[in-house]
Amino acid sequence: MSPTAVYLVTIFGLLIAVFTLSAGLIWYERRLLALFQDRYGPNRVGPFGLLQSVADIVKIFFKEDWVPPFADKPVFVIAPAVIIVATLMSFGVVAFAPGVMVSDLNVGLLFFLAMSSMGAYGVALAGWSSNNKYSLLGGLRAAAQVISYEVFMGLSLMGVVMMAGSFNLVRIVQAQERMWFFLPQLVGMAVFMVAGFAETFRIPFDLPEAENELVAGFHTEYSGMKFAFFFLGEYIGISLVSAMLVILFFGGWLGPVLPPLAWFFIKTFIFISFFILVRGSLPRPRFDQLMAYGWKVMLPLSLANLVVTAGILLWRRS
Amino acid sequence: MISILRSIWLVFLHALHRRVTVQYPEQAIRRPPRFRGRIILSRDPDGGERCVACYLCAAACPVDCIALQAAQDEHGRRYPAFFRINFSRCIFCGFCEDACPTYAIQLTPDFEMSEARRQEMVYEKEDLTISGPGKYPGYNFYRVAGLAIAGKGKGQAENEQPPSDPKTLLP
Ligand code: SF4
Ligand code: SF4
């Protein structure tokens, strides 16, 4: 096959895989949450309820796609697309296995960080263009949350970058041949994980949509496919953060016996399940607590991690 | 911090617990005998209708969903000419059963009575009447009441003495 054909196959294969996986994740999350809460969850449509997502998608296609008359129409329509595009773009640099990736970017990690901040625009714009006080509050919270948590999300990854000596995700995985980075970078991993929860607006950091204070937050006014886009964006975001966790701290595709791709998916699924477990167990903090936690605990922690890692690396080299 | 990890762990342990959901249509659910479900009209042990058309249930019903019409047979025994319960209004409070002096109207543990058309929620006497005595097997109202009725004169009821003749007191 010509390189272009390989490219196209990878891109479309990835798109299809990510979309079906994210739709399936909705079912997976509901079943898993039910398991943690001593219930069954959706188990009626198809075997084990597997076709529940299909039923949901069919239903959402037939829902009225309504743009409120008071909304800022162009922005209102673009906002959900921004979220989806931003999260999908990051998948372009994710290294699934040797050779199985769209773009072997030499600054892949930076690209991921940049795109995850782009996702915040979608949420903030959705809140703003809805012209609804609850949506606006949700958008404001999203912007504030992402700005604060992004700072140490980037900082927490610098330890990994220093140890691997590269921003390239493939090189970072290859650098973990001898030891996965979560051992020396335990603090960095913890901080990145917390920041990942905040970036994807998952419980316990789902303050932008906090349904018991803000109706549904930034997507209060959305319906039909636009709402589905936000929903899908959230699940794509979860898969993305889990995939990044695996690549940066848990050796990516590395592992014995099984093929690299299988290892990658197994590890990613473990983290997706962890995301869901946390959703089932933790309550949502107050917004000031969220901010204080970010700036007073996580930021110093990631800075300390950065300094200590750099110091040890320099000491070992001299 | 520790408490957060602990609660995550405790929630995880719930994955090993037994699920509490009852898979209803496949799995039968337990209903106690006094469950308040579909209403029936019962019969005496000897097969006669228990209801004496006293209207007490209709008066007690908070949503006025019972309609009936009293009638009398040739022996002076009262019965409902029609008896109609609109189950789309009934709130299954059980007041009718409490009010009934003859144990005729009773609530049963059956609750699976959905219908596609609302008109079909209106049950007539034929739909309500069952062949047996329901929850009170031995009870026969006319056998304990003082009223003279076909096959039972004054003073022949259970636990009843023959009427005294006041004329015996005359000097
Ligand atoms: S159960 Fe209550 S609502 Fe229903 S018929 Fe009897 S008195 Fe009326
Ligand atoms: S069902 Fe009972 S309360 Fe109602 S009319 Fe008949 S005898 Fe009276």
Mean pLDDT by 10 residues, chain B (171 residues): 86 86 86 90 87 91 92 86 92 92 90 89 90 87 79 76 82 78
* Predicted local distance difference test score (pLDDT) of residue A75: 86
Q: Which atom of ligand 2 is nearest to the CA of B105?
A: 1
DSSP structural state of residue B78: E
pLDDT score of A292 more than 80:
yes
Mean of the pLDDT values across residues A95-104? 75
How many CB pairs below 8 A link A and B?
Answer: 34
For residue A95, the CA-to-ligand 2 centroid distance in Å is: 78
- Ligand 2 site, residue B128, Cβ cutoff 6 A: no
Give me the mean pLDDT over the A249-258 stretch: 80
> What average pLDDT score do residues A44-72 get?
84
- How high is the mean pLDDT of chain A? 84
- Cβ(A38)–Cβ(B20) below 8 Å: yes
Over residues A177-219, the pLDDT tens digits come to: 777 877 778 888 888 888 888 888 887 888 878 778 887 778 8
Residue from B40, B63, B123 whose mutation best tests the ligand 1 pocket (most atoms within 8 A of CB):
B63
Q: What is the pLDDT of residue A284?
A: 85
pLDDT at residue B86, rounded to an integer: 92
For the CA of B105, the nearest atom of ligand 1: 6
Other CB atoms within a 10 A radius of the CB of residue B143 amount to 18
What is the number of the ligand closest to the CA of B89? 1
Identify the bridge partners of residue B79 per DSSP, sorted by sequence position.
Answer: B71
Q: Which ligand is nearest to the CA of B90?
A: 1
State the ipTM, two decimals: 0.74
Report CA(B154)–ligand 2 centroid distance (Å): 23
- As a whole number, mean pLDDT of residues A57-71 equals 84
Please, which pLDDT band fits residue A256 given cuts at 50, 70 and 90?
A: confident
For B142, what's the count of Cα atoms within 13 Å in the CB-facing half-sphere? Answer: 21
Q: What percent of chain A has pLDDT over 90?
A: 0
- Model pLDDT, residue A1: 63
In this predicted structure, which of A93-97, A127-131, B12-16 has the lowest mean pLDDT? A93-97
Mean pLDDT of A98-123: 81
Q: Which ligand is nearest to the CA of B145?
A: 2
Q: In chain B, which residue's Cα lies nearest the Cα of A293?
A: B1
A110: confidence class by pLDDT, cuts 50, 70, 90 = confident
Q: Residue A308 pLDDT more than 70? A: yes
Q: Which of B14, B18, B21 sits opposite A36 (nearest CB)?
A: B14
Cα B149 to averaged position of ligand 1 atoms, centre (Å): 30
Q: Give residue B95 CA to ligand 2 midpoint distance, Å.
A: 11
The average pLDDT across A303-308 equals 89
Query: Chain B within 8 Å of A280 (Cβ-Cβ)?
Result: yes
A260-283 average pLDDT score: 87
Angle, vertex CA A264, rays to CA A259 and CA A269, nearest 5: 130
Distance from CA of B26 to the nearest CA of A (A): 12
